Structure 1
Amino acid sequence: MSDSQPADLALMRELNERIVLGLLRQEGPISRAELARRSNLSRSTVSSIIATLLAAGLVCETGIGSSQGGRRPIMIEFNYQSALVIGIELGSTTLTLLLTDLAATVLRRAYVPFNSAEGPEACSTRLAEQVHRVLAEAAISRQQIVGVGVGVPGPLGYTTGRPSAPPVLPGWQGVPLRALLEAALGMRVFVENDANLGALAEHRWGAAQGWENVAYLYLGSVGIGAGLILDGRLYRGDIGSAGEIGHLMVEEDGPACRCGSSGCLEAVAGLPAVLKRARAIGLPVAQFGDLLSLARQGDHSAIALLDATGEYLGIAVASTLNMINPGCIVIGGSMAEAGELLLGSLRRTLQRRGLSIAVDHVTIIPGMLGSDVVAIGAVSIVVNHAFSVPAAARSNNGVAHEAMPV
């Protein structure tokens, strides 16, 4: 036997375990025989894998299933309480931190004032301090944490964990953020764009469950981005900049944008721009909730401003719809709280500007996961990496585990 054979066998065993775990995560309680059929693995291989996973606590037996004849099978289920995950949204002014189980059930949450202008090294240290504080308060050891997911605004080199050109995080470009965080935390870290994580969260646990092609519009506290799920999988593009909808031009000769262009969606419909315009017309607003309250009380200027903002959003969404033809568009983030005050004009603009066949087909819905959506998506990406089959190792036999959006 060559030296490489034991390693090859160990890798094959791990891949087979991930296939089984992926099926259990997707299908819920399922018998050993059905696992063998769905995975194309032998019954003896599946039985051996299940024995290992039972001993590790990753799966559990959950009762007796039905039978067409013969002995009724014992059902196997993924144990979502077998490990814990930390999901983080790293905003420019606020840090959102969740401690969850593998089903994203929140066990602890913290919202901490945060100043990204302090720079990546100082911010990594502060982030690590908050993580260790939450773990200490919950009496949780690092060994119970399977990984840490972190959402950041702006384009990101996914394989490198380095922000590419983040206008929201000046001074962070090219910084090895994942490596900094892993060194500070002593845990495995996954870093991803915030809108991408919002898309993953809503697709896995929220409003977009069951849809294969989804555009998630993230109206954040600072910027606007889109996360794209295409054919059931997250689409990042060649360099990680897919979905930068905030930098589509929607107003010729419009105001300057921090990206260096002008008339961008973010420059006219991003939250800071909307609040600036509100104050310019004399509305007494300190935050978006103030503007929303005025509109709900019938203030015509506030209503008109939200209507105009929705129209800008509709222009950008129409371009996205015409280009990628999603079946579902989910609107999330802090400004989505406006509901139809914003979405009404978005829909009307989409009707005017979108390709009619695509407009008639698409469903536009608000997100379900609220202000924690990015941190929940950060949990999702950790779980996917820990328990799904690596893309390079997937077969082309069409088994269900291939649909996991990593």
Structure 2
Amino acid sequence: MASHSKSAERLLRQIRYAPGITRHELADTLGVSVTTVNPVVSKLMDDRLITEVIPAKADRQGIGRPRAGLTLPGKVETLATLIWGHGGLSTAVVTFDNRVLWSDRVAVDGVLTTEQLVESARTILTTAAKLDGVNAPRILTLGLPAPYEPGVGLGQPDTSDTRHGRDGFASWFRADPRQLLADELKIRVAAENDANLGALGETHFGAARGARAAIYVKLSGQGIGSGLTINGKLFAGSHGFAGEIAHVRVDDDSRIICSCGSRGCLEEKIGPNMLQQLHVNYGDEITYADLLSMIEQDMPGPTRLLQDAGRVAGRALADMCTFFNPNVLVLDAGTTRASEVLIDGVSEQIAQSAPPFARRGLTLKPAELGEMASTLGSVVFARGSALGTSVSV
């Protein structure tokens, strides 16, 4: 192995964080030929440092001889994920071959405190330590529900009003929160906007698989977020704020100042303000979960409300589609049925406002992964962090 030590180290690292990778995929990833990879793989197999397994029949794709995947023997590598999305905190222990070994989700009302953040992260690591056959996570991925700039933190002033049900941000989020968790837990931390992680998840494993360019949109009772991908990689912009649809201007006559400092943002039309329209007929305590339940029952009022939300968001998305020219637009409103209702409103506006060339080849799809989109997107994100390769264009 001495004559191939550097090559072997590169291959082992790739296989560790992408178990099941084939020789051809390994060659593509490393930018070399398969003939270069084969002798190094053979030597590592002779030394019993890696194994090669033909996929089970149920897992095979296409026709012809299936290509075997390379893995390391022994315990499996894992990552920890902590996704703070609108209204909830999702935690999980996941393998790098996309198996969710443990997951949990709890509601978060308002600000996520430093204590909640650190304690939730500790719970994930404690749980992972009790799982059989896996290594302790070497990396924790943190998803955050706001414009996030790596190395800086919150991309806007903290002007949210938690008294009226709006998500605010604790003081730990005004600086980059990665260092806080890294210092407390002695683990490598990677952070990204939760919608961007969802976009990676749906692009690699869900409704936007194989899309050349895709927009992922997630709607909740607290707001709306989106992420953009190109050929499977995030388009995050110069500071990580690309796709911030919540702050696209949709109302020139609005007198409301948004938390970003502008007026007439989409955020003011969708989220808590949207639910207020139901209060007269459905009660002041109506929640987004209640709205989803009523839509599942095909109640006309709530269904119309979500369609209208789609029309409002659709005006902004029509412009985004004209500018970005995606071939897939994935919408996640919380359930498949709600996503389909949202699509009805969005598609109507795109038909009216986007030019024919932007609509040609564009497919609108309901999300497939739900809350797991950000968790599975974290696998892609963490792999890039562990290997030192960018998941962004």
Give the equivalent residue in structure 1 for 2:97: 103
Q: CA, structure 1 residues 386+321, in 2 after alignment: closer, same or farther (shift >3 Å)?
A: same
Q: Pick closer, same or farther for the CA change 1:330–1:44 going to 2, 3 Å.
A: closer
1:266 is matched with 267
The change in CA–CA distance for 1:144 and 1:350 in structure 2 (over 3 A counts) is same
Structure 2 counterpart of 1:206: 206
Q: Decide which structure has greater helix share.
A: 1
Return the offset for 1:390. Answer: 2.8
For residues 275-332 of structure 1, the C-alpha deviation after alignment (integer angstroms, 9 at most, x for no partner) is 12221x4223622232244445454432332221111011111011011101111112
Structure 2 equivalent of residue 401 of structure 1 = none
Q: Which of 156, 161, 176 is the equivalent residue of 2:148?
A: 156
Distance 1:45 1:358, change over 3 A: closer
Instruction: Give yes or no for the alignment of 1:379 onto 2:372.
Output: no
**Comparing 248-257 with 324-333, which one deviates more in the overlay?**
248-257
How far 1:17 moved relative to its partner? 5.5
2:13 and 2:125 map into 1 onto residues whose CA distance is 29
Corresponding position of 2:120: 127
Distance 1:226 1:302 in 2: 23
Is 1:224 matched up with 2:218? no
> Taking structure 1 as reference, are residues 335 and 202 closer, same or farther at Cα in structure 2, changes over 3 Å only?
same
Matches within 5 A, 1:3-402: 14-15=9-10, 29-30=22-23, 35=27, 39-41=31-33, 43=35, 46-49=38-41, 51-52=43-44, 59-63=50-54, 76-79=68-71, 82-91=76-85, 93-114=87-108, 117=111, 119=113, 121-138=114-131, 143-158=135-150, 160=151, 162-165=153-156, 168-170=167-169, 171-254=171-254, 255-270=256-271, 272-279=272-279, 281-284=280-283, 286-297=286-297, 299-334=299-334, 337-387=337-387, 390=389
1:187-238 deviation line (CA, Å, top 9, x unaligned)? 2111001111001001111111111211111213422111111243211111
Contact 2:249 2:264 (8 Å CA) reproduced: yes
- Counterparts of 1:221 and 1:299, CA distance in 2: 18
Asked whether the equivalents of residues 295 and 338 of structure 2 are also in contact (C-alpha less than 8 Å), the reply is no
SS in 2 for 1:145: coil
Structure-2 separation of matches of 1:248 and 1:37: 37
Shift of the 344–74 alpha-carbon distance from structure 1 to 2, 3 Å rule, reads closer
Which runs of 5 or more structure 2 residues have no equivalent in the other structure?
Answer: 56-64, 161-166
Q: 1:75 to 1:319 in 2, by over 3 A?
A: closer
Amino acid at match of 2:141: G
TM-score when normalising by structure 1: 0.78
Structure 1 residue matching 2:138: 3-state secondary structure:
strand
Structure 2 letter corresponding to 1:223: G
Q: Closer, same or farther in 2 for the Cα pair 1:189/1:298, shift >3 Å?
A: closer
Which letter does structure 2 place at the counterpart of 1:146? Answer: R
CA distance in 1, matches of 2:371, 2:81: 13
